[in-house]
């Protein structure tokens, strides 16, 4: 489990899909984002013309959204972005996403680069909030 802490001080508990630690500014979307065709792995820029985040950059941010959005190829795009250093520092989701988890696991295995993936209550988190993701005591 984790404790993402927005700058307004609210502690939240969640469940790691992939453990790790991260700090950064939140980039919050109410719409899911696909990494396949949605993110440029070379830059971290959102390139999906149908997504409200078009033109924003996920690199080093705490990406907050309800879930990922398909394609199974999103895992390979996420792994490549992690390798290049253009991926989010962490992804917070309302619902588990096995496709994003596979991308983060592959990057950890191949490149020894850790990007936490956490399922938690994201209500009230807004873009620009400072988030710290940590493993708490007793496995939390």
Average per-residue pLDDT for the chain: 89
Residue 71 is among the residues annotated as catalytic for this protein = yes
Residue 134's pLDDT is what?
A: 86
Per the listing, tokens 């993402």 go with 4
Q: Taking residues 114-127, what's their average pLDDT?
A: 94
Residue 77 has pLDDT above 80, yes or no: yes
Residue 9 has pLDDT above 80, yes or no: no
What is the pTM assigned to this prediction?
0.88
> Catalytic: which of 30, 34, 67, 71?
71
CB 132 within 8 A of CB 30: no
Q: Taking residues 9-22, what's their average pLDDT?
A: 80
For residues 130 and 27, give the distance between their C-alpha atoms in angstroms, rounded to a whole number: 10
φ, ψ of residue 93 in degrees (nearest 5): -130, 155
- 137 against 45, higher pLDDT: 45
Residue 3 has pLDDT above 50, yes or no: no
């Amino acid at each position: 489990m984790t404790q993402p802490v927005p700058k307004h001080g609210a502690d939240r508990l969640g469940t790691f899909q992939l453990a790790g630690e991260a700090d950064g500014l939140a980039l919050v979307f109410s719409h899911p984002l696909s990494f396949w065709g949605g993110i440029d792995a070379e830059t971290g820029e959102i390139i999906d013309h149908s997504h409200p985040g078009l033109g924003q950059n996920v690199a080093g941010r705490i990406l907050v959204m309800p879930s990922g959005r398909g394609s199974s190829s999103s895992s390979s795009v996420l792994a490549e972005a992690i390798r290049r250093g253009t991926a989010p520092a962490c992804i917070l989701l309302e619902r588990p996403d096995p496709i994003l988890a596979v991308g983060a696991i592959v990057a950890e295995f191949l490149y020894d680069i850790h990007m936490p993936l956490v399922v938690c209550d994201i209500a009230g988190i807004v873009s620009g909030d400072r988030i710290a993701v940590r493993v708490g005591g007793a496995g939390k």
